[in-house]
Amino acid sequence: MSVTVRIPTVLRTYTGGQATVDADGATVADVLADLDTRFPGIAGRVLDERGVLRRFVNVYVDEDDVRFGDGLQTVVPIGSTVAVIPAVAGG
């Protein structure tokens, strides 16, 4: 199952500068595991030591924020886009 993953600038050091990469997986957790296999360390920047999404990292499957769905178990349909977006704060 192939999907496109959008990589934020801050994580592109893991992907050799690529802004988008292909990944396989039926769920967000599977996609992140596949990414980490090919780009070691990237999952550790998205997930904390408990294996849950870091507080200031948002993940979308197409237009849907996975935090409002099934989290890491959110289904990723073939051909969809997964976007990893670091939260931005400021005033």
pLDDT band at residue 88 using 50, 70 and 90 as cut-offs: confident
Whether the per-residue pLDDT at 60 is higher than 80: the answer is yes
> Model-level pTM?
0.92
Q: How far apart are the first and last CA of the chain?
A: 41
Q: What is the pLDDT of residues 9-48, one digit of tens each?
A: 999 999 999 999 999 999 999 999 999 999 999 999 999 9
Phi-psi map region of 82: left, alpha, beta (phi>0 left; psi -120 to 50 alpha): beta
Cβ–Cβ < 8 Å for 1, 26: yes
As given in the structure block, the two tokens for residue 4 are 């496109």
The helices-and-strands tally (H runs, E runs) of the chain is: 2, 5
